[in-house]
Chain A
């Protein structure tokens, strides 16, 4: 498939012939603690409290939890947007905090929750910006640089993958929420990352594009060895598309495992403080969550 050949063509993917289980961890997170520090409250509560886990290379990991459980903070810490006060994170065996921002950007693509755009860049220009970290390292000359043919081919491929080629000349300020979301994901893919971190990637998307993005992520995983960490509120989506699920509550890991181990009624009810019904998805057999609806009229 073309995406994979792109990866191979630029000599990136060294690991796509190695079976999933034999690969090393993409992320190795060791007892990190993180809190927002301000002068007013120097001893704020820990947003992430003593968290340790691994992200296997080539897996799709879903991060779920109630509002304020620390999902987005965890993602930002993994993206090196924030640095934990305690603990240690390594990315492909190397210390994350010792890496330059640009080195991290060559390995890790991030799709943030807020994708608001202010300046009228075209969709194609926005996607091409994903090639920025791969530019010549010299930062004074880099300002004048043009994208190479390879950059354009990779951006083009990312736009095809996200189904936005027909929007190429449109201004990002005039896009719908879903189109903008797909543009931002395409930009992250244009970084040709080995790890993709996504914060609520399906929040603005209709059903068709929700399903499409999730299958695209799995396809990139299968064919290109991409590692995906996905924060979402949508438990059903996570259950259907993720290999493992990390359930957070109050900055602590409640459970980490396959959908069958995490999506259990008792676990969810204790974390979300709300009754849920869990049964099997009719086609995949994976757990499916249903909210308790109002009782049928006539019954009580």
Chain B
């Protein structure tokens, strides 16, 4: 069926619905929050969040075991941007620290945070549950198990490491999501207690297997594995950073292309179908995408928890539920949050670094308890 817009007939509409004035009508009576998402609100919100992310990134570059002044940070960044190799005015040490260590690590933190928050948004809409999070659901530990199996069989030491470990993580995460999907399909919508229980069980099984693998590795490798499992960001080489960026960009682009579908899916399975979505297919592709992104993220940074839950929840409270804004805004806030958390992890008891997963868990755990105890009404 083809829809032809007939301007002559549109003109006959009553004055109150003059085309062109409708967006104003729909956003009438809006004091703090518009009734619908408008282009300008979208651009303004994401603009502010991008600027915030850049500002926080600068602050994170400044802090460290050895603070580097903002002037130097800007100078080095300027040199990098214009591709100049100038050493005057900036000490070699500061330059090396910034370029080789801090900047790649901060970029990695931003990427990981973006991805985890986006996956959280998608899972919450898919499972119709505001507590869904790759860590809580056991998707992260599934991915970690996949990556651990990869390391056990020596994938991590070969030239395959950069491509094969994310693939192993993807496979593990997918196993976890298939179990969750089966549960969700049985109950229609995963009730909060079944959801948490599924996560607890999956986490228990996967951790047991990970511990088994850790215990049979030789002590040197098992120490590295423990540190990785707790959720650690280490400065990557630029080539691996670019590889990860390409991989995640594809995953996130495909996820972002489903923003309107997520809106409709959040209404519930039956409503989504009556609005024209092939829900089985949409859910399958979204589950695969979330597993893909989680797998890659976990294989480089281990299990960093709760970002996928805290960030979308907080962002939703402020900007509303429309995923066209919620998803990109959560991604930016998640990236910014993890950059900050990682800076705390680097500097809190410098020069000793603590795994950033500890910081996010300490921030996220209490928030989780708060949601369970005081916001029961929002948890269905």
Which residue of A9, A104, A155 is within 8 Å of B12 (Cβ)?
A: A9
Residues of A within 8 A of B22 (CB): 149, 152-153, 155-156
Once the chains bind, are B14 and A123 in contact (CB under 8 Å)?
Answer: no
**Interface residue count on the A side (C-beta < 8 Å):** 65
Q: Is A23 an interface residue (CB 8 A)?
A: no
Residues of B within 8 A of A81 (CB): 270, 273-274
Once the chains bind, are A143 and B260 in contact (CB under 8 Å)?
Answer: yes
| Residue ID in chain B nearest A151 by CB atoms | B22
Once the chains bind, are A132 and B6 in contact (CB under 8 Å)?
Answer: no
Closest-CB distance, B376 to chain A (whole angstroms):
13
Q: For chain B residues 120-147, which have a beta carbon within 8 Å of chain A?
A: 125, 128-130
Q: Is A51 an interface residue (CB 8 A)?
A: no
Q: Known interface pairs A129-B267, A144-B324. Does A106 touch B256 (Cβ–Cβ under 8 Å)?
A: no
Give A97 to B267 CA distance when docked, in angstroms. 24
Residues of B within 8 A of A173 (CB): 378
Once the chains bind, are A135 and B260 in contact (CB under 8 Å)?
Answer: yes
Closest-CB distance, A99 to chain B (whole angstroms):
10
Q: Is B5 an interface residue (CB 8 A)?
A: yes
Chain B interface size, as a band, is 35 or more
Binds A, one of B27-35, B152-160, B330-338: B27-35
Residues of B within 8 A of A108 (CB): 274
Q: For chain A residues 124-139, which have a beta carbon within 8 Å of chain B?
A: 124-126, 128-130, 132-135, 139
Q: Is A121 an interface residue (CB 8 A)?
A: yes
Which residue of B4, B264, B324 is within 8 Å of A11 (Cβ)?
A: B4
User: Using an 8 Å CB-CB cutoff, how does the interface string of B1-35 with A read, 1 for contact, 0 for none?
Assistant: 11111100110111011011011011111100111
Residues of A within 8 A of B9 (CB): 5, 8-9
Give A9 to B5 CA distance when docked, in angstroms. 6
Once the chains bind, are B278 and A10 in contact (CB under 8 Å)?
Answer: no
Which residue of A9, A126, A141, A149 is within 8 Å of B6 (Cβ)?
A: A9
Q: Is B297 an interface residue (CB 8 A)?
A: no
| Residue ID in chain B nearest A146 by CB atoms | B39
Q: Is A216 an interface residue (CB 8 A)?
A: no
Once the chains bind, are A2 and B277 in contact (CB under 8 Å)?
Answer: no
Closest-CB distance, B345 to chain A (whole angstroms):
32
Once the chains bind, are A119 and B266 in contact (CB under 8 Å)?
Answer: yes
Q: Is A228 an interface residue (CB 8 A)?
A: no
Q: For chain A residues 103-129, which have a beta carbon within 8 Å of chain B?
A: 103-110, 112, 116-126, 128-129
Once the chains bind, are A10 and B4 in contact (CB under 8 Å)?
Answer: yes
Q: Is B207 an interface residue (CB 8 A)?
A: no
Once the chains bind, are A106 and B274 in contact (CB under 8 Å)?
Answer: no
User: Using an 8 Å CB-CB cutoff, how does the interface string of B262-282 with A read, 1 for contact, 0 for none?
Assistant: 011011101101111110000
Once the chains bind, are B274 and A150 in contact (CB under 8 Å)?
Answer: no
Give A207 to B38 CA distance when docked, in angstroms. 36
25 sampled A-B residue pairs with Cβ under 8 A: A80-B273, A81-B274, A105-B276, A110-B271, A116-B380, A118-B128, A121-B266, A121-B322, A124-B35, A125-B36, A125-B37, A128-B36, A129-B267, A132-B276, A139-B261, A142-B261, A145-B260, A149-B20, A152-B22, A152-B26, A153-B19, A153-B22, A166-B29, A171-B320, A173-B378
List B residues at the A interface (Cβ < 8 Å).
Answer: 1-6, 9-10, 12-14, 16-17, 19-20, 22-23, 25-30, 33-37, 39, 125, 128-130, 254, 256-261, 263-264, 266-268, 270-271, 273-278, 316, 320-322, 324, 378, 380
